Amino acid sequence: MYEPAHFRVEEKKQLVAFLRAHPLGLLIVQGAENITADLIPFLVDDEGLSLRAHFARANPLLQALATGQSVLVVFCGPQAYISPGYYPSKAEHGRVVPTWNYAMVQAQGLARLREEPEWISTQIADLTAQQEASRPAPWSPEDAPRDFIAAQLRAIVGLEIAIDDLRGKYKLSQNRSQTDRRGVLAGLAEEKSPEPNSLAELMLATQPTKGPEAPQKIG
């Protein structure tokens, strides 16, 4: 991953929080004949040392990961096109071009399959709890018939990845002047879809909060 210094994110707590906010990861694996990519929801531990997941036994990943190998998982956050028209500097000198702002985290490490029924049951319960906890009436596996859940568990396999490298890249106009960053925030606030608004919120949350470089809240 190309990582200019001003876009690099190294704070482990920040990276773990990102994975929990965006748990659907793109698992990239080198198979026997080609490279595969599968979207799978993951759990990450508090220290950012391991990822846990599960997938269908019918997935060719079962064969690809049978002997264990190093894999890459890509987690993506909000993203949006950035028009040159957002920049006040466009009116000053015109030396601006379009770009794209986004946030992503990559995890690389050794993957191994987990076949133990207890491990898989715990994985399912933990992932479900993480996603259901904030709901008015949280669902849990215990709400479904036991024989139904047992059949579902037999159809999946667990996956654990020991993270060797965890790195993030937030491309959020840090290379622009404060005036231009404010212009980007204002431009994103005018967009009609929710993702640009989420991107603006991330920009406000991760850029300086004090001093002359602190962005002003828009809207």
What is the percentage of the chain residues whose pLDDT exceeds 90? 86
The mean per-residue pLDDT over the stretch 34-41 comes to: 95
Per-residue pLDDT tens for 116-133? 999 999 999 999 999 999
The mean per-residue pLDDT over the stretch 15-31 comes to: 96
- Helix ranges (H only) for 65-170 are 89-92, 117-132, 146-154
The mean per-residue pLDDT over the stretch 88-97 comes to: 90
Q: Would you place residue 208 in the very low, low, confident or very high pLDDT band (cuts 50, 70, 90)?
A: low
Q: What is the pTM of this model?
A: 0.89
Counting beta carbons within 10 angstroms of the beta carbon of residue 19, is it exposed (0 to 12), middle (13 to 18) or buried (19 or more)? buried
The mean per-residue pLDDT over the stretch 131-150 comes to: 94
* Domain made up of 5-204: CATH architecture: Roll (2.30)
Res 209: pLDDT: 47
Nearest alpha-carbon partner for 127 in 17, 32, 45, 37: 45
The mean per-residue pLDDT over the stretch 175-196 comes to: 93
Res 211: pLDDT: 39
Of 174 and 32, more confident: 174
